[in-house]
Amino acid sequence: MDYSHLQKEIDHCSKCGGCLVACPIYGELGVETMGSRGRVFLFSQYLEGNLELSKKFAEIMSLCLLCKNCTATCPNGVATDQLVLAARKELVGKYGLPLIKKTVFHHLLKSNGRLNLAARLLTVYQRTGLRWLVRKSRLLKVFPSDLEAKEKLLPDIQGGQPFLSEVAQRISVENPQKRIAYFTGCMTNYFFQNTGRSVLNVLKENQVEVFLPDQLCCGVPAEANGDEETMLHLAEKNVKFFSGLEIDAIITDCPSCGMALKEYGEKLGTEEAQVFSSKVKDITQFLMQDIELKIPTSNIPVTVTYHDPCHAVRGLKIQKEPRELLKKIPGLILKEMNGANQCCGSAGSFNLSYYQLSMQILAKKLTNITETGADVVATACPACEMQIGHGVRQNHLPQKVMHPIELLSEAYLAGD
Ligand code: SF4
Ligand code: SF4
């Protein structure tokens, strides 16, 4: 594989060690190789042929949240996450994917039919008392790897069916001020349907016409696990699904999806993909920058603290837009927490692979949330919502965890 485009990241590392303090994993484990400096060095040694793709190498590369905190802190902006992704790709090239990941990426993510079926089975598990039975029987306790605790990570599926199957493919409004296509992402489609409904309600209130074309997973889970082939397959399909629509923007409510969609153009190299990527915007960015947002008339007397998702604040560079959006809601008080832009420990499937470590990182976030005394934790990322929601439930905290768009939608509905 040609990694010459990543050589500059290696060359730019002056080995100053400034990234160590920024790395949440180094913060927990205190091991040099877990910081950016260690990972850059190890990957450079592999490229030079001095290092094998050993189990230890694989473990070090998998113990990265891809949170970009090191890059943001590094005086030279070394993009360690790109090196880690390249290392994971090499590992998959040599050893292949583990069976579970292969099944999920090759058979579920590439087919909405199979993914919908899996979601239905999960709904049956959650709603028929089967989950209660499994939990009561302590059956999961006999499995290793904190399976009992991990099972609680999954929130209740809010709707009985995928969000995309309950909505029309085109939602027209009179005299639209903009036309957009909505890429919902798997988390909103399968777990957080209320976020999807809120997005549609907010867009309707602002006279925006919405297209909801067929769509597949954005590809982030596959890419983060070194499966580039699946990521490219999904990218090609999604670009095709959205082509030909006369739209001003493609919006997402998930910054990880947003980052991935924005990279389709560069990854696929076609004009069609470049046009697609150039239109991608986070919903908060679209509402604050592209239209004159309608101000809700009702008072929502609630204190909110905002958690910055890594891929929003350091990936898409979105920090002020969700806060500005929240401040437009009359009566809402925004109270900043310490370390609002620090990772919550979710990082896709990191919380499944390294549950205890992920919970240690989350504990700091929960302390910061509690200190604010807020009623609601808002975060513009469904994966962070899942992680923080899990922490809130496990620790019996009083906060509700919501996407900012849900709060805005509630404010509009209260004024109707
Ligand atoms: S990655 Fe950046 S901060 Fe870390 S050691 Fe290298 S130059 Fe210093
Ligand atoms: S991306 Fe995050 S977890 Fe990975 S090395 Fe950088 S700071 Fe550490």
Q: Which atom of ligand 2 is nearest to the CA of 66?
A: 1
Residue 296 lies in a domain: no
Residue 369 lies in a domain: yes
| Residue 143: predicted pLDDT | 56
Domain boundary among 75, 95, 115: 95
Rounded Cα distance between 349 and 357, Å, is: 12
Q: Does the beta carbon of 40 lie inside 6 Å of ligand 2?
A: no
Domain boundary among 54, 72, 95: 95
| Residue 125: predicted pLDDT | 72
Q: Domain containing 394: what range?
A: 303-415
Q: Does the beta carbon of 314 lie inside 6 Å of ligand 2?
A: no
Residue nearest to atom 2 of ligand 1 (CA): 74
Q: Does the beta carbon of 311 lie inside 6 Å of ligand 2?
A: no
> How confident is the chain (416 residues) per 10-residue block, as mean pLDDT?
86 93 94 90 94 94 96 95 96 93 88 79 72 64 64 70 90 95 95 95 98 96 96 97 96 97 97 98 98 94 97 97 98 98 92 92 98 98 96 96 98 88
| Residue 378: predicted pLDDT | 98
Q: Does the beta carbon of 67 lie inside 6 Å of ligand 2?
A: yes
Q: Which atom of ligand 2 is nearest to the CA of 65?
A: 3
Residue 234 lies in a domain: no
Residue 271 lies in a domain: no
State which of 81, 354, 357, 360 you would mutate to test the pocket of ligand 2, scoring each by most atoms of that ligand within 8 A of its C-beta: 81
Report the amino acid identity of residue 260. A
Q: Does the beta carbon of 23 lie inside 6 Å of ligand 1?
A: no
Ligand nearest to the CA of residue 62, numbered in listed order: 2
| Residue 356: predicted pLDDT | 92
Q: Does the beta carbon of 202 lie inside 6 Å of ligand 2?
A: no
Of 209, 198, 218, nearest to 248 (Cα)? 209
Ligand nearest to the CA of residue 66, numbered in listed order: 2
Residue 244 lies in a domain: no
Domain boundary among 80, 95, 110: 95
Residue 402 lies in a domain: yes
The CATH code of the domain that includes 378 is 3.40.50
The CATH code of the domain that includes 22 is 1.10.1060.10
In this structure, the dihedral spanned by the alpha carbons of residues 223, 183, 384 and 346, taken in order and rounded to 10 degrees, is -10
Residue 285 lies in a domain: no
Residue 295 lies in a domain: no
Q: Does the beta carbon of 189 lie inside 6 Å of ligand 2?
A: no
| Residue 152: predicted pLDDT | 75
Q: Does the beta carbon of 233 lie inside 6 Å of ligand 1?
A: no
Rounded Cα distance between 391 and 334, Å, is: 21
**Number of domain units in the chain:** 2
Q: Could you tell me the CA-to-CA distances from 285 to 82, 130, 324, 328 in Å, in that order?
A: 25, 41, 10, 14
Q: Does the beta carbon of 21 lie inside 6 Å of ligand 1?
A: no
The model's pTM is 0.93
Distance in Å, CA 34 to ligand 1 centroid: 13
State which of 19, 36, 342 you would mutate to test the pocket of ligand 2, scoring each by most atoms of that ligand within 8 A of its C-beta: 36
Rounded Cα distance between 70 and 242, Å, is: 35
Rounded Cα distance between 219 and 88, Å, is: 15
